[in-house]
């Protein structure tokens, strides 16, 4: 099986630095869920060539950009994991394809195929035309996460013989809808309420005193939920994050922190992001109208077709204390923002300063900070990362 990306710019800035297949939605990444649903432990990823060197080092067990041989399924990483979609793809015969408009959903190879997609995609027969089978932007990913937490729980975590012990003072509601991994710490005063949806607390996570988690929700491995935090439905927090304050319907990748009070709603946060104390975002317009948000693909604001849409924050971006982020704001990778001016609209990659007066972030300074931040987690800022971020900086600000 080949899991391929086709329009990564639709998922920038998150996919400035990762494949679309690595997007977190629900408990799993897109590639993990597709591999499991099609029962293929030898799936190959087709990703942008500019990402290949870095991601081959990050995913040594996943073959990347290898040819597809006769009989192999090619599956778009953006597919929605619905039973009828999975069944239709599995039923494809050699040479048959399913499209959504001009976008390939899936194809079973009748002969060997290789990148680039453009070299063969226009030659394929359009045996089926479908609509609404593919995710088209990050807003859709954010709003799909709640249902996918439910689906992932039923598929991979539900155990009718589920049993766990908690410390005195921990309140558990609907325990059969809760999965707790090994070496999880639940401090007194914690409330886990799975009455309306499942909760997964993954291995080594710590939930501190008086924190409340309302399902559906996922807390990743070794993450820390801070004292008196409020985690609302639809929240999926990746590994090694520290999260406090109020979070609703939001997705965090690994190693990102929002440790203090402040609201984050219906947002997508990349890796190595830090959100300062009392920083808040808006996820609902005063008019209750549909939110528009900047698209790297079209270069303009697009209708998200939802009235709940917060912000998108690219990898390695930092937000100071008491920042205010407007509805639908997109913040590019490597940005460092502070001050009282409203952060609004689109903040380009590697921006520095007060939102009302931005200048390009110095690349050397960015590298130094990124290395220090990763060092604190016993990680290294690799030459492959430096090369990728240099490329992104050059495409945004020039030499």
Work out the number of other CB atoms within 10 angstroms of the CB of residue 388. Answer: 20
Per 3-state DSSP, what percentage of the chain is helix, strand, and coil (rounded to 5)?
25, 30, 50
Region 191-197: mean pLDDT is 97
In the DSSP assignment, the letter for residue 155 is I
pLDDT of residue 42: 84
Region 186-205: mean pLDDT is 97
For tokens 């937000």, what's the residue?
Answer: 319
Q: Quick check: 164 pLDDT over 80?
A: no
CA–CA gap between residue 81 and residue 135 (Å, rounded): 10
- Asked if residue 97 belongs to a domain, the reply is yes
What is the pLDDT of the chain when averaged over all its residues?
Answer: 95
- Asked if residue 199 belongs to a domain, the reply is no
CA–CA gap between residue 350 and residue 337 (Å, rounded): 10
Q: For residue 344, what is the domain's CATH number? A: 2.160.10
Phi first, then psi: give them for residue 278, nearest 5 degrees: 60, 20
Q: Quick check: 261 pLDDT over 90?
A: yes
Give Cβ neighbours of residue 324 (< 8 Å, ≥ 6 apart): 279, 280, 281, 282, 340, 342, 343
- Asked if residue 282 belongs to a domain, the reply is no
pLDDT category at 269 given cuts 50, 70, 90 is very high
Q: Pick the closest to residue 253 from 15, 85, 1 (CA basis).
A: 15
Would you state the structure tokens that stand for residue 278, as one six-digit string? 């009392």
Cβ–Cβ under 8 Å, residues 355 and 332: no
- Asked if residue 305 belongs to a domain, the reply is yes
Q: Quick check: 162 pLDDT over 70?
A: no
CA–CA gap between residue 375 and residue 76 (Å, rounded): 35
CA–CA gap between residue 353 and residue 203 (Å, rounded): 38
- Asked if residue 396 belongs to a domain, the reply is yes
Structural domain count of the chain: 2
355-382 per-position pLDDT tens digit: 989 999 999 999 999 999 999 999 999 9
Cβ–Cβ under 8 Å, residues 334 and 361: yes
Q: Quick check: 295 pLDDT over 90?
A: yes
Q: Quick check: 204 pLDDT over 70?
A: yes
Question: Last residue of a domain, which of 93, 111, 136?
Answer: 136
In this prediction the pTM is: 0.95
Question: Last residue of a domain, which of 85, 102, 136?
Answer: 136
pLDDT category at 190 given cuts 50, 70, 90 is very high
Q: What is the crossing angle of helices 383-397 and 363-375, to 10°?
A: 150
- Asked if residue 57 belongs to a domain, the reply is yes
Give 211's Cβ-side CA count (13 Å radius): 25
- Asked if residue 273 belongs to a domain, the reply is no
Q: Quick check: 246 pLDDT over 90?
A: yes
CA–CA gap between residue 322 and residue 223 (Å, rounded): 24
Question: Last residue of a domain, which of 136, 153, 183?
Answer: 136
Cβ–Cβ under 8 Å, residues 318 and 370: no
- Asked if residue 33 belongs to a domain, the reply is yes
In the DSSP assignment, the letter for residue 177 is G
How big is the chain, counted in residues?
Answer: 399
Render the burial of 256-277: b for 16+ CB within 10 Å, e for the rest. bbbbbbbbbbbbbbbbbbbbbe
pLDDT category at 173 given cuts 50, 70, 90 is very high
118-129 per-position pLDDT tens digit: 888 988 989 999
Per the structure, the complete domain to which residue 131 belongs is given by 2-136
């Amino acid at each position: 099986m080949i899991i391929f990306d086709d329009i990564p710019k639709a998922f920038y800035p998150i996919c400035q630095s990762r494949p679309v297949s690595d997007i977190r939605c629900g408990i799993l990444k897109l590639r993990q869920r597709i591999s499991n649903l099609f029962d293929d432990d030898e799936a190959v990823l087709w990703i942008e060539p500019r990402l290949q060197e870095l991601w081959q080092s990050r995913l040594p067990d996943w073959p990347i950009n290898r040819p597809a041989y006769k009989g192999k399924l090619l599956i778009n990483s953006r597919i929605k994991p619905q039973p009828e979609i999975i069944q239709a793809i599995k039923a494809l015969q050699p040479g048959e394809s399913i499209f959504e408009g001009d976008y390939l959903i899936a194809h079973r190879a009748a002969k060997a195929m290789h990148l680039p997609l453009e070299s063969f995609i226009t030659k394929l027969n359009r045996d089926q035309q479908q609509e609404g089978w593919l995710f088209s932007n990050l807003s859709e990913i954010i709003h799909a996460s709640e249902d996918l937490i439910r689906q992932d729980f039923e598929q991979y975590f539900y155990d009718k013989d589920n049993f766990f012990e908690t410390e005195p003072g921990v309140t558990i509601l609907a325990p059969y809808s809760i999965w707790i991994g090994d070496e999880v710490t639940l401090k007194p005063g914690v409330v886990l309420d799975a009455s309306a949806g499942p909760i997964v607390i993954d291995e080594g996570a710590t939930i501190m005193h008086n924190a409340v988690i309302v399902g559906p929700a996922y807390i990743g491995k070794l993450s820390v939920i801070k004292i008196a935090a409020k985690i609302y439905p639809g929240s999926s927090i990746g590994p090694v994050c520290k999260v406090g304050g109020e979070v609703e319907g939001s997705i965090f990748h690994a190693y990102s922190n929002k440790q203090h009070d402040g609201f984050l709603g219906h947002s997508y946060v990349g890796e190595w992001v830090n959100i300062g104390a009392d920083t808040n975002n808006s996820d609902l317009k005063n008019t209750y109208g549909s939110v528009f948000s900047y698209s790297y693909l079209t270069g303009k604001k697009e209708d998200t077709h939802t009235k709940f849409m917060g912000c998108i924050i690219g990898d390695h971006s930092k937000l100071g204390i008491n920042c205010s982020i407007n509805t639908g704001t997109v913040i590019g990778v490597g940005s460092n923002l502070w001050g009282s001016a409203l952060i609004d609209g689109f903040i380009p990659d590697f921006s520095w300063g007060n939102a009302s007066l931005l200048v390009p972030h110095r690349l050397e300074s960015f590298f130094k900070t990124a290395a220090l931040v990763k060092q604190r987690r016993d990680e290294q800022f690799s030459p492959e990362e430096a090369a990728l971020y240099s490329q992104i900086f050059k495409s945004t600000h020039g030499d």
